[in-house]
Each structure stands twice: as structure tokens, then as C-alpha cells.
Amino acid sequence: MSVAALELPLRKIASGKVREIFEIDDERLLFVASDRISAYDVVMNEQIPDKGRVLTGMTEHWLKLAGEIPNHLLSMSLSDLPDEVRPSWEELAGRFMIVRRLNMMPVEFVVRGYLVGSGWAEYKRNGTIAGLKLPERLREADKLPAPVFTPATKAVTGHDENISEETAGEIVGEARMRAARDYAFALYEMAATYAEQRGIIVADTKFEFGMWDGEVVLADEVLTPDSSRFWPAGEWRPGTNPPSFDKQYLRDWLSGLDWNKEPPPPTLPADVIEGTRRRYLEAYERITGSSFHEYLKRQGGATFAQNETSQS
Ligand code: Q0Z
């Protein structure tokens, strides 16, 4: 089942284009990933079934691999949800995380391993990335000599604005910035190495951190296609902007229309929805090495078993 605008009898404390956060109590939040999808910053009218579950399952996978880095996840068990949301178990299964409420840092911890997007734009202008001098004659999408930390803040426009490491330190405090930056580098290195062995390049990714009990804690979704650029390794061609693993199918279809990339978006046909869904499932399975169906069984609990029975 898809979740358009999920209604829960809890206070919504934040909502983004494709996800929502509700308050459980003073210490805990309910983080929910919807099946909404955006392209060129516009949210489509149709949803990609299970997309939110794929992103939640991927985040869970990376958090397990990042064992020693403190993170906000408390539980993904339906039985730990507050009683008031029981009627929504079926739509929530597999797409929620009960998380520790942190004091969030207003800085995005971005790590880039490849020269694309705003990093490529800065390099073309100045020969630098985050102010750091780079070798000459690099091409778009080239692998960087070493991953680079390019912090950003949410500007009033809602778009990200790159800032220097020094400014990031002034905003969150030097020691906290360094701790989060070092976690971000470690996470990126781990994930990039791991994904490369499975045919996926993690070109860049964005982490969010908060504070709890004096500690820097990893929050939000982690190393998903919505927070990262994933490229199929076989389609990486330096000198071009490679296709994103998840959305290229959708973008290719959109680019054949004469849509001006302003709302309202065009209506997505069933085959574009299904093709995009398959890309998300494939990303999940390539990255985790396990079947998405198994994830649904594990997270859906009795709900899933009941559905399987009722379909046969
Ligand atoms: C994250 C965001 C989203 C819009 C608040 N563990 C946490 N504790 C306190 N606050 C947050 C978290 Cl994850 C928190 N965001 C970013 C997420 C929709 C904005 F789902 N906002």
C-alpha cells in the first residue's frame, strides 16, 4: 500500500518533500519514509510503491555496518509503536523508524568522492572544491584524488548553500564539527568500498547529525538514493554526468516531454512507475545482498503473512 499524505494521530514536527517526522514523546520521534518521488525538485502526483520501504531498509543496512558510530535508531518493530497508531500498522510496516530525539545540527555533512553537481560547478569556476585546490584538467564525474568534505546549510530558499569547514565549525562548534566530519568520512569510505564491490558507485552523500547526552549522533536516512548519488558502475563515463541509479528511468521519460520542470508535473504512466520501482528494488538487493521480499516479511510481521495468505 502506498502512503500519499500519511495521517497519524501524532503531532507532525517536520515534513520534507518525501518524508515526515512525528512526535511520540519528549525522547522519541517517528520517522516515516513515504512512496513519493521528486524529479527536478518537483514532487510527482503518483507514487513509487515500496520506495519508502526500500530507503528505510537501506538505512537499516548501513546503520548495522556502521555499528560503532552512535545513531538515532531505537526500533523498527511494529510492537514498539504507540497504541494510537495501531490502525496504521499496515502502511507503516517497513517504512518507519522510532528514533531518539536529538538536538540537530543545522549543517549538512556532505562527502564527495567524484566531481559532479555543485562540486563540478565550483571546480570549473575556481579549480577548487570546498576551497581546496584540485589537480588541473579534471573532467565532470572524475574520481577525486581523495574524498572531500563539503558542508552545506539549508538556505532560506530551501536549497543548500555550500559553506566552508571553518564556517561549519562556527555554526556547530569546532569539536562537534570535527567529530561529525570524521564520522562522515568514515561512513563514506565504508559505503563506497562496499558498494563498489556490488557494482554501484557512491558519488557523494549527505549526512545529518545531532547531539544527545553530549555525544555526536548520526540521524536521518543514511546512504539512500535520496541522500546520495548512486551510479551503476558500468555506466560511469568521466566527461559526462552519469545517470542516477534510481531516477534515471523517470528522468529519461520526463526529458522526452515538453514539460518546463515547474509544477504541475506530468502524469506518470504505469510502465514508468513500474520501471522506476524495479530500479529501487534492484538498488536495495545489490547493496544489501538480500531480497526485498525477505525485508517485507521481516518487517511486515503478521500483517505481511496475513496478506500473503489472503492473496492465495
Ligand atoms: C530531522 C527532516 C524529515 C523533514 C528533524 N532524530 C532526530 N531528532 C530530532 N530531529 C530530527 C531527527 Cl531525525 C530531525 N529532520 C530533517 C526530516 C522531514 C526534515 F523526515 N528534522
* pLDDT tens per residue, range 164-212: 999 999 999 999 999 999 999 999 999 999 999 999 999 999 999 999 9
pLDDT higher than 90, residue 275: yes
The label of the residue with cell 567524484 reads 114
Ligand 1 centroid – CA 38 distance (Å): 19
Which of 58, 2, 8, 12 lies closest to 34, judged by CA? 2
Taking only the tens place, the pLDDT of each residue in 150-166 is 999 988 787 899 999 99
pLDDT of residue 4: 58
Closest CA to 111 of 217, 189, 211: 189
How many CA atoms lie within 13 Å of 89's alpha carbon, on the beta-carbon side?
18
CB 74 near ligand 1, within 6 Å: no
- Asked if 173 and 181 touch (Cβ cutoff 8 Å), the reply is no
- Ligand 1 centre and the CA of 26: distance in Å? 14
233 vs 310: which has the higher pLDDT: 233
Average pLDDT over residues 123-137: 95
Question: Nearest 10 degrees: CA dihedral of 148, 176, 172, 189?
Answer: 20
Report how far ligand 1's centroid is from the alpha carbon of 76 (Å): 16
| 210 Cβ closer than 6 Å to some ligand 1 atom | yes
Span from the CA of 161 to the centroid of ligand 1 (angstroms): 19
Average pLDDT of the residues in 145-152: 98
Are the C-beta atoms of 42 and 18 separated by less than 8 Å? no
* Pocket-testing residue among 153, 220, 227, ligand 1, by greatest number of atoms within 8 A of Cβ: 220
Confirm or reject: Cβ of 21 under 6 Å from ligand 1: yes
Atom of ligand 1 nearest to the CA of 19: 20
Cell numbers given for 228: 546520495
Best residue among 104, 153, 160 to mutate for probing ligand 1, ranked by most atoms within 8 Å of CB: 104
Distance 306 CA to ligand 1 centre (A): 32
pLDDT single digits (tens) 239-253: 999 989 999 999 999
| Residues 168 and 151 sit within 8 Å (Cβ to Cβ) | yes
Q: Percent of the chain having pLDDT more than 90?
A: 90
Using alpha carbons, select from 22, 49, 23, 26 the residue that is nearest to residue 36. Answer: 49
- State the distance from the centre of ligand 1 to the C-alpha of 311, rounded, in angstroms: 37
Helix ranges (H only) for 73-205 are 89-92, 117-126, 165-172, 174-196
pLDDT at 309: 61
Is the confidence at residue 290, as pLDDT, over 60?
yes
Atom number, ligand 1, closest to the C-alpha of residue 72: 6
Q: How remote is the CA of residue 130 from the centroid of ligand 1, in Å? A: 26
pLDDT at 159: 84
Residues 198, 213: Cα–Cα separation, whole Å: 37
Indicate whether 311 pLDDT > 60: no
| Residue (of 227, 237, 232) closest to 140 by Cα position | 237
What residues pair up with 298 in beta bridges, in sequence order? none
| Beta carbons within 10 angstroms of residue 80's beta carbon | 12
Q: Decide: 20 in ligand 1 pocket, CB within 6 A.
A: yes
User: Region 55-64: what's the mean pLDDT?
Assistant: 98
Question: How much distance in Å is there from the Cα of 273 to the middle of ligand 1?
Answer: 28
Is the shortest distance between the CB of 36 and ligand 1 below 6 Å?
no
Residue 1, pLDDT score: 53
Beta sheet of 73-75, edge-to-edge order? 12-15, 19-23, 28-33, 96-100, 73-75
Atom of ligand 1 nearest to the CA of 103: 9
Neighbours of 148 (CB within 10 A): 21
86 pLDDT more than 50 = yes
- 220 C-alpha vs ligand 1 centroid, how far in Å? 6
The pLDDT value recorded for residue 312 is 41
Mean pLDDT of the chain, nearest integer: 95
Nearest to 304 by CA among 92, 97, 98, 90: 90
pLDDT number for residue 14 = 95
Helix (H) or strand (E) holding 109: strand 109-114
